[in-house]
Structure 1
Amino acid sequence: MGLQAPLWRAVTVFRVAALVYATVLMLTGFRDFTRPWLGWAVLAAMIAWTAVTGVHYHDPAGRNRSWLAADLAFTLACLLASMLVVPAAKLSSGGATLPMAWVAGAVLVWALRGGRRAGGIAALIVGAADLFLRGEITSATVNGTVLLLLAGGVMGYVSRLTDDAETRLQRAVELEAATRERERLARGMHDSVLQVLALVQRRGTELGGEAAELGRLAGEQEAVLRSLVGVHVTAAVAGTADLRLLLGRYGSPLVTVATPATPVLLPAAVAAELAAAAGSALDNVATHCGSSARAWVLVEQEPDAVTVSIRDDGPGIAPGRLAEAATSGRLGVAQSIQGRVRDLGGTVAITSGPGQGTEVELRVPLPR
């Protein structure tokens, strides 16, 4: 039922307690009323409405705008009915209305459903009705409106906190379930396919010749399968993705991927674009540095940004070569790497020199 369910039950309990207070006031003061029978009728309607809303608000589907509007309208009707029951002189001097504190129930449900702003609006509407009822600004109207505003503000704030807590709890549960499933698949893969591929790689290297080539291919497939074990059940949570898993599939005997031990969660679209930019950089290594060039991918997570560095041991980039490539229409670096990261609000730094290899640093700020 969610973390907000206790708050809705608390509002119902508050309304019941406020009804008890209104009943006590009715019993001690109904002899002074101009129409006591109408006062008892209003109290009976308040009791019935409290029971109806208590049952209706128990179901999250019943907490819609139509019911909240009806709740506020009924509360205002009970409050304004005091004009026909309580003597005008008593109201103008700050005397009790028929519903008294019961009117705060509508303000609380508005704040619980719509936040602090909705609670404040409901409090001002009830305060305006109370002012109209009494005919002048008194300490009773001012104090009552201020208390309603405070109650609406506090309930709206607590409602937002419970929403955030529920979202985080759901993400934690999904992450734990995905982690367990990934570990289960990893154990199964390790006990069967991965062990066979590792054996083929080791025996092929020992035998040499064509068997060595077969062993190398087996080693590459082992690395790919290990990354797929993680990608198959990504620890993605409500639109997020673990960058480590997306980059892990680029790992191979020639590409070493180093990531933090904990998940690097980013919005799914951001993680996909950042991983694609890193993949383009690795494609450039394979294309321009030769089939035997090695590359290293390093992921660093900072409090406000994520940095992915791709370094290779190739011949490096001659000065002015990137600008010349962009001028001649070859936009691999300009679009596939720099363009992607720029669209994410990040930066790309390329450090290279003849005979020194190349390092491409992709830095993307974390969303607030």
Structure 2
Amino acid sequence: MADTPTATAPNVSVEAPLWRALVGYRLLTTAYATGVFLYHHDTYGRPLVGVVYLAVLVCWTLATLRHVSSAERCTPVFLGCDFSLGVGGILLTPVADTTGAVNPSLPTIWVAGPVLALAIKHGWRWAAGASLVVGAANVLEEGGLTRDTVHNVLLVTVASIGIGYVVEVARASEHTLAEALKVEAATRERERLARDIHDNVLQVLAMVQRRGTEIGGGAAEIGRLAGEQEVALRSLVSTGPTAADAARDVAGSEYGSGAGAGGEVTRDLAELLAARAGTAVTFAGPGSPVAMPERAARMTDAAVAAALDNVRQHAGESASAWILLEDEPDAVLVTVRDDGPGVAAGRLAAAEREGRMGVSLSIVGRLHEVGGTAEVVSIPGQGTEVELRVPK
């Protein structure tokens, strides 16, 4: 029964491409570390140490690809083991390369993979700490600071901190967007409910108050209570939601279920508006059907009904109204005109400030929901004209 589509946060996280890239990085660097070892295997003093380590590295990498496919699967236990394997390979290098003839460590650039995983999972602070540990391991393996060691450590540190910072900013942006969409959804649902309340409940309460005052006696007390409830209800529907209200309203409302009409189903607006014609209402439109998306047609028809209700309420039962439907090339134009006394300048804005949301919600709000516009032109003594324009 909802009139508006659900506003939801995007389901695809900015982190997903980073995790996919990390999977590819681990595979490529594993192949690279294996290739470097095979190329220099005759140079190692204890090549068997390198063979055992790289066999473990290859098996570990292939067996844990699933763990680096998402943040949920990249558990702290896995990160600890992964990082330990990389740092352990660096410290094990002097045992395999007893002469120090081979420059790269056994895991080579594979060791940056665990650091990047920490950056994506926990942010730049963890990445910075892990980079410093890797750097200290490289210094111990080399026996001191060298130009290559400094370059490698800086490269890993800058890359991991940069990625970690970008991920943190992206997460904050996604959270802000989700909260904003919740507020927007709750606001639009509150406006929809306010329109329905205005079209039905508030008008009934106003009529009870008016008739009770006219009758007098016990009915006057009922009218007074109805008037108090009308004021309280107008205040409620004209109050915007807070962020906390938004989350609660969206979670419990029918609007949050995503129900709504799609653009594939069409409705003849001329047929809907023609049904509004009567003794005091004249309809004029094209001879052919005016097909519109069903939701847009229903919202436009409801806005016209609200305009006619305003004519009856403010211009009186004897006032006449005319509905003109025009099917233009780029839009559908509906004009509702009456011969009532008109509205004084500034009265509509004052009514909205007082909580009387008939025009702003029941007419302008409905057209805004379907991407249209509504304009009210009134000259005291010359009637009121409401122009509704819905783009195709």
TM bucket, shorter chain: 0.5 to 0.7
Gaps of 5+ in 1: 242-252, 259-368
Residue of structure 1 in register with 2:230 after alignment: 222
Distance in 2 (CA, whole Å) between partners of 1:225 and 1:174 is 24
- What's the TM-score, normalizing by structure 1? 0.57
Q: What is the identity, as a one-letter code, of the residue corresponding to 1:71?
A: D
Supply the AA of the counterpart residue of 2:106.
L
Alignment match, 1:72: 83
Output the CA distance in 1 between the equivalents of 2:79 and 2:241. 42
RMSD: 3.3
Secondary structure, counterpart of 2:41 in structure 1: helix
Distance in 2 of aligned mates of 1:50 and 1:237: 47
Q: Report whether the alignment pairs 1:27 with 2:22.
A: no
**Alpha-carbon distance, 1:5 to partner:** 2.9
Matches within 5 A, 1:345-356: none
Structure 2 vs 1, CA of residues 96 and 4 (structure 1 numbering), >3 Å: closer, same or farther?
same
Q: 1:135 to 1:238 in 2, by over 3 A?
A: farther
Following superposition, the deviation at residue 119 of structure 1 comes to: 0.9
State how 1:200-215 maps to structure 2 within 5 Å: 200-204=208-212, 214-215=222-223
Cα distance in 1 for partners of 2:109, 2:246 equals: 41
Deviates more, 1:122-131 or 1:231-240: 231-240
Q: Distance in 1 between matches of 2:33 and 2:226?
A: 81
Matched, 1:128 2:136: yes
Corresponding pairs, count? 243
Q: Which residue of 2 aligns with 1:138?
A: 146
One-letter identity of the residue aligned with 1:184: R
Displacement of 1:45: 2.1
Higher relative contact order (CA 8 A, sep 6+): 2
CA offset at residue 114 of structure 1?
2.5
- C-alpha displacement of 1:176: 3.0
Question: 1:351: which partner in 2?
Answer: none
- Distance in 1 separating the partners of 2:169 and 2:220: 60
Taking structure 1 as reference, are residues 239 and 145 closer, same or farther at Cα in structure 2, changes over 3 Å only?
A: farther
Distance 1:100 1:172, change over 3 A: same
**Percent of matched pairs sharing the same residue:** 42
Closer/same/farther in 2, CA of residues 76 and 221 from structure 1, 3 Å limit: same
Alpha carbons of 1:207 and 1:30: their partners in 2 closer, same or farther (altered >3 Å)? Answer: same
CA contact (8 A) 2:205 2:229 kept: yes
Amino acid corresponding to residue 21 of structure 1 in structure 2? Y
- Give the direction of change, closer, same or farther, for the CA distance of 1:233–1:53 in structure 2 (3 Å limit): farther
Instruction: Specify whether residues 204 and 20 from structure 1 end up closer, same or farther in structure 2 by C-alpha distance, changes over 3 A only.
Output: same
> What is the distance in 2 between the residues matched to 1:41 and 1:71?
17
Letter in 2 for 1:196: V
Q: Secondary structure at 2:42's aligned position in 1?
A: helix
Residue 116, structure 1, aligned to residue 124, structure 2:
yes
Structure 2 residue identity aligned to 1:66: V
From the superposition, tell whether residues 4 and 256 of structure 1 become closer, same or farther in structure 2 (CA, over 3 Å).
same
Matches within 5 A, 1:32-47: 32-47=43-58
Report the 3-state secondary structure (helix = DSSP H, G, I; strand = E; otherwise coil) of the residue aligned with 2:169.
Answer: helix
The answer to whether the 8 A contact 1:107-1:123 is kept is yes
Question: How far apart, CA to CA, are the structure 2 residues paired with 1:201 and 1:235?
Answer: 35
- SS for the counterpart of 2:183 is helix
CA contact (8 A) 2:208 2:226 kept: yes
Contact preservation (8 Å) 2:16, 2:70: no
Q: Deviations over 1:212-261 (max 9, x none)?
A: 654443232123223444679755279899xxxxxxxxxxx9x9589xxx
Give the Cα–Cα distance (whole angstroms) in 2 for the partners of residues 125 and 174 of structure 1. 42
Aligned to 1:293: none
Question: In terms of mean alpha carbon deviation, does 124-133 or 211-220 score higher?
Answer: 211-220
Is 1:84 matched with 2:95? yes
User: What is the CA distance between 1:60 and its match in structure 2?
Assistant: 3.6
Name the structure 2 match of 1:184: 192
Output one character per residue of 1:142-175: Cα deviation in whole Å (capped at 9) or x when no partner.
1111112112210221121121012112212322
- Contact 2:131–2:153 (CA under 8 A) maintained in structure 1: yes
The answer (yes or no) to whether the contact 1:12–1:50 under 8 Å persists in 2 is no
CA shift for structure 1 position 129: 0.6
Say which is worse superposed, 99-108 or 224-233, in terms of deviation. Answer: 224-233
Pair 124,223 (structure 1): closer, same or farther in 2 beyond 3 Å:
same
Show structure 2 runs of 5+ residues with no match: 1-11, 250-350, 357-392
1:166 paired to 2:177:
no
Change (3 A) 1:151 1:237: farther
Asked whether the 8 Å contact 2:187–2:240 carries over to 1, the reply is no
CA distance in structure 1 between the partners assigned to 2:238 and 2:20 by the alignment: 43
Q: Is contact 1:9-1:54 (8 Å) kept? A: no
User: Following the alignment from structure 2 to structure 1, what is the Cα–Cα distance between the partners of residues 44 and 118?
Assistant: 31
Other-structure match for 1:14: 25
Shift of 1:103: 0.7
* 1:250-265 superposed matches below 5 A: none
Tell me if structure 2 keeps the 8 A contact 1:22–1:99: yes
Instruction: Give, as a single letter, the amino acid of the residue that structure 2 aligns with 1:56.
Output: H
Q: For residue 100 of structure 2, give the secondary structure of its aligned residue in structure 1.
A: helix
Q: Compared with structure 1, are the counterparts of its residues 176 and 44 closer, same or farther at alpha carbon in structure 2 (3 Å cutoff)? A: farther
